[in-house]
Structure 1
Amino acid sequence: MSEDFVTIKIPKRLYMEIEKRVEESKGEFKDPQEYIEFVLNEVVSEEDEEEEYTPEEEEEIKRRLRQLGYI
């Protein structure tokens, strides 16, 4: 299954910095596009992940706050 792509514009200095990082990645990224896709996927997935605490973690947090005198 192939994906559709769109073109975006970024400042040339930013593109040059990305090229430098790709070169320094020692083969982890084959080109700037792959690097940019990776970074954007990371940012988007971080926003999708809400940090939720288990009931046990919440109780531990409350216990610590009580010990510190905050509640």
Structure 2
Amino acid sequence: MNTQLKESKVTIKIPRPLYKHIQKLIEGSGFNSVTDFIVYVLRDVISIKKRADGEFDDLTREEVVNIREKLRNLGYL
């Protein structure tokens, strides 16, 4: 696959009230932006689906540390 194509991004539109709600939710959480939070959530949803389907992606130690830090900042840990 072309590296440039692989690294390209697309725009996803969400309702403004949802965007504002997420902005408030992530304040002081360790997420740098609404986009970072949404990407994190979508990756998590995909990971859950893959596990349910018997597929597994191994996370690096750094990824696990980052996830735990973000969850702790959100008050989940």
Unaligned runs of 5+ in 2: 55-77
TM-score (norm 1): 0.61
* Secondary structure of 1:49's aligned partner: helix
Paired residue total = 50
Specify every segment of 5 or more residues in structure 1 that has no aligned partner in the other structure, as ranges: 53-71
From 13, 26, 48, give the equivalent of 1:9. Answer: 13
TM score, norm. by length of structure 2: 0.57
Q: Identity across aligned pairs (percent)?
A: 38
Greater CA radius of gyration, 1 or 2?
Answer: 1
Higher RCO (CA-CA < 8 Å; seq separation 6+): 2
Moved over 2 A (4+): none
| Distance in 1 separating the partners of 2:12 and 2:52 | 28
How far apart are the structure 1 equivalents of 2:9 and 2:21?
22
Pairwise CA distance, 1:12: 0.3
